[in-house]
């Protein structure tokens, strides 16, 4: 499971003139001055003709050109931080823009443990988001300097990660109003929103996620915080033996489930979980353990520090065809490994949410759908994201080619920034016409409705992807 990592653009109104001046300077230095230089040099050659060749100062002119381009390149590098004015937040803390650090005489990086309180101050239209530090200093941001959608993400990130920080009632109320405004609903209390969300997700079930500090396996595992939840399952960040971090996936079967079906599903999950624990591949998150406790079923997985591909595309937009093809090759190699096992292992939940780009730039497949399959079998309820589920999997007959369908749907998302329409053969070229035809054809074949029309296996897919990569890059 990947935790969100955000880079939120920050441009406060009171610094608008400064940013405009910085943009003007960069524009003049990196665009206007080179044009003037080349125009002048061309005019000089036209006027002097071949005389320049025999001029004894020719090498001085060459040296001047070299120095000019060296200074131009160095200036571009040095002025980049002036242009990229972002607040960056992660599970570890917050990285401040250089100007904010200078203003408050603090470091550029703040760790959550030193942030004691977060609040909102000021009247409507001129609010400030303030973080109080244990050193007595405060770091403040003008709320108007953030785009509202990114401000909502920033507030959610600080709520999830700064667990030791006291959040004032003013901040909680402001965040609730912002969430309501972003969703186009009337103002309601934060508590009411929470109750409505619980009702929507869990309906009439009695499932409640585990609280932070909850102990499992006789105290060996401690829940740090919840990462995600929905339906009858939840995912947690946990600490084992008060040392290393892991991801814990939980599934709960209602008490009214058919006992015979439940027993069969539990056997299926136990068998598959044991197989998952034997996996060893550089692009697949490790599964360390499977256990049942208090009628809840758990998988203990490797914690990957990075950003899932859905988060990545939301921040950076649709990706280039060559990058998507390179990523597809990595995923296809992992699927070939899984499908070649005896018996073959089907992921069942291959989506942009379950593929993580780690901090080294490599892809990792996470969160196997074994628990989802188990829960769906026991409850008769569809588990998963319909836009990425193959038709045969919806009918309860998942095969290895079902993962290929999910990969094709994932490629559609990476290329277009949109989820595909469920139960259709997806063509990314209909959304982004510039996508190469060879890649569009491949996605269409991967998402064919019938398995006989789909690419046969991961090995053949890898061969096709290699050919597509050569075509695109040449």
pLDDT in tens, 327-342: 999 999 999 999 999 8
Cα–Cα dist 229/3, whole Å? 13
Lowest mean pLDDT among 195-204, 312-321, 374-383: 195-204
CATH code, domain carrying 180: 2.30.29
Average pLDDT over residues 64-81: 62
Cα–Cα dist 182/175, whole Å? 10
**Domain match, 238 and 92 both:** no
209: in domain: no
307 pLDDT band, cuts 50/70/90, is confident
Query: According to the per-residue pLDDT averaged within each range, which of 47-56, 62-71, 163-172, 296-305 is highest?
Result: 296-305
Whether the per-residue pLDDT at 375 is higher than 60: the answer is: no
Residue of 233, 208, 116 whose CA lies nearest to 167: 116
**Domain match, 77 and 190 both:** no
Last residue of a domain, one of 31, 57, 83: 83
Lowest mean pLDDT among 170-184, 349-363, 438-452: 170-184
Dihedral angle, C-alpha 22, 25, 26, 27, nearest 10 °: 120
2: in domain: no
Token readout for 416 is 């277009």
Whether the per-residue pLDDT at 444 is higher than 70: the answer is: yes
pLDDT for the residue 200: 40
206: in domain: no
Last residue of a domain, one of 42, 67, 83: 83
pLDDT for the residue 142: 86
Whether the per-residue pLDDT at 378 is higher than 60: the answer is: no
323, 313 in Cβ contact below 8 A?
no
Average pLDDT over residues 61-77: 64
208: in domain: no
pLDDT for the residue 109: 79
**Domain match, 300 and 438 both:** yes
Higher pLDDT, 47 or 297: 297
- Which backbone phi and psi does 282 adopt, to 5 degrees? -65, -20
Proportion of the chain above pLDDT 90, given as a percent = 24
**Domain match, 165 and 140 both:** yes
Cα–Cα dist 179/155, whole Å? 10
Whether the per-residue pLDDT at 161 is higher than 70: the answer is: yes
Distance, first Cα to last Cα, the chain: 36
**Domain match, 91 and 77 both:** no
**Domain match, 267 and 407 both:** yes
**Domain match, 261 and 383 both:** yes
**Domain match, 79 and 90 both:** no
321: in domain: yes
Task: Report how far apart, in Å, the C-alpha atoms of 459 and of each of 170, 328, 390 are.
Answer: 56, 12, 19
Lowest mean pLDDT among 39-43, 47-51, 365-369: 47-51
Count up the domains in the chain and report the number.
3
Average pLDDT over residues 152-161: 76
Lowest mean pLDDT among 70-79, 100-109, 120-129, 434-443: 70-79
Query: Per residue in 232-266, pLDDT tens?
Result: 567 888 999 888 888 888 876 655 666 776 677 67
Average pLDDT, the chain: 77
**Domain match, 357 and 434 both:** yes
Token readout for 159 is 């709520």
**Domain match, 317 and 288 both:** yes
135: in domain: yes
Last residue of a domain, one of 83, 106, 138: 83
> What is the side-by-side order of every strand in the sheet holding 306-308?
306-308, 355-358, 363-365
Burial per residue of 259-276, b for 16 or more beta-carbon CB atoms within 10 angstroms, e otherwise: eeebeebbeebeebbebb
Task: Report how far apart, in Å, the C-alpha atoms of 4 and of each of 96, 227, 304, 357, 358 are.
Answer: 17, 10, 11, 11, 12
250, 207 in Cβ contact below 8 A?
no
**Domain match, 250 and 379 both:** yes
pLDDT for the residue 295: 74
196 pLDDT band, cuts 50/70/90, is very low
Whether the per-residue pLDDT at 360 is higher than 70: the answer is: yes
pLDDT for the residue 265: 66
Average pLDDT over residues 87-100: 78
pLDDT for the residue 350: 92
CATH code, domain carrying 323: 1.10.510.10
Cα–Cα dist 92/162, whole Å? 9
**Domain match, 271 and 288 both:** yes
Average pLDDT over residues 143-149: 82
pLDDT for the residue 461: 96
Whether the per-residue pLDDT at 180 is higher than 70: the answer is: no
pLDDT for the residue 232: 57
> What is the side-by-side order of every strand in the sheet holding 115-121?
138-142, 128-133, 115-121, 166-167
pLDDT for the residue 253: 63
390, 401 in Cβ contact below 8 A?
yes
Average pLDDT over residues 18-31: 64
5: in domain: no
Boundaries of domain holding 60: 13-83
185 pLDDT band, cuts 50/70/90, is very low
308: in domain: yes
Average pLDDT over residues 443-457: 94
pLDDT for the residue 33: 65
Average pLDDT over residues 21-31: 65
């Amino acid at each position: 499971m990947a935790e969100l990592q955000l880079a939120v653009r920050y441009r406060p109104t009171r610094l608008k003139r400064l940013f405009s001046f910085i943009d003007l300077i960069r524009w003049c230095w990196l665009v206007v001055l080179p044009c003037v230089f080349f125009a002048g040099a061309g005019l000089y050659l036209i006027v002097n003709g071949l005389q320049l060749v025999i001029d004894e100062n020719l090498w001085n002119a060459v040296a001047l050109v070299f120095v000019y381009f060296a200074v131009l390149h160095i200036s571009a590098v040095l002025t980049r931080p002036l242009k990229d004015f972002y607040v960056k937040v992660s599970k570890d803390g917050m990285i401040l823009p250089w100007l904010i650090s200078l203003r408050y005489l603090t470091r550029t990086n703040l760790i959550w443990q030193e942030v004691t309180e977060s609040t909102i101050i000021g009247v409507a239209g001129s609010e400030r988001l303030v973080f109080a530090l244990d050193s007595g200093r405060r770091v403040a941001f003008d709320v108007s300097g953030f785009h509202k959608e990114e401000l909502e993400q920033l507030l959610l990130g600080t709520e999830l990660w700064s667990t030791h920080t006291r959040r004032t009632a003013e901040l909680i109320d402001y965040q609730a109003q912002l969430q309501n405004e972003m969703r186009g609903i009337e103002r309601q209390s934060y508590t009411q929103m929470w109750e409505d969300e619980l009702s929507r997700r869990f309906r009439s079930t009695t499932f409640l996620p585990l609280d932070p500090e909850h102990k499992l396996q006789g105290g060996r595992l401690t829940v740090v915080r919840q990462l995600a939840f929905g339906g009858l399952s939840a995912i947690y960040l946990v600490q084992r033996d008060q040392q290393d971090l892991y991801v814990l996936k939980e599934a709960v079967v209602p008490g009214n489930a058919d006992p015979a079906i439940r027993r069969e599903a539990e056997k299926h999950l136990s068998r598959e979980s044991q197989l998952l624990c034997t996996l060893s591949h550089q692009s697949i998150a490790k599964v360390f353990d499977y256990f049942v406790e208090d009628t809840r079923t758990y998988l203990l997985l490797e914690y990957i520090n990075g950003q899932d591909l859905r988060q990545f595309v939301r921040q950076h937009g649709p990706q280039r065809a060559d990058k998507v093809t390179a990523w597809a090759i990595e995923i296809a190699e992992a699927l070939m490994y899984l499908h070649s096992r005896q018996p073959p292992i089907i992921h069942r939940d291959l989506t942009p949410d379950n593929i993580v780009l780690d901090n080294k730039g490599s892809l990792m497949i996470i969160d196997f759908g074994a628990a989802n399959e188990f829960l769906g079998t026991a409850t008769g309820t569809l588990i998963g994201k319909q836009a990425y589920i193959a038709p045969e999997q919806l009918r309860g007959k998942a095969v290895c080619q079902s993962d290929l369908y999910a990969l094709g749907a994932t490629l559609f998302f990476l290329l277009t920034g949109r989820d595909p329409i469920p139960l259709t053969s997806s063509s990314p070229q209909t959304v982004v016409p510039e996508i190469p035809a060879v890649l569009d054809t491949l996605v269409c074949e991967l998402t064919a409705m019938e398995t006989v029309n789909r690419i046969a296996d991961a090995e053949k897919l890898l061969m096709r992807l290699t050919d597509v990569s050569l075509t695109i890059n040449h």
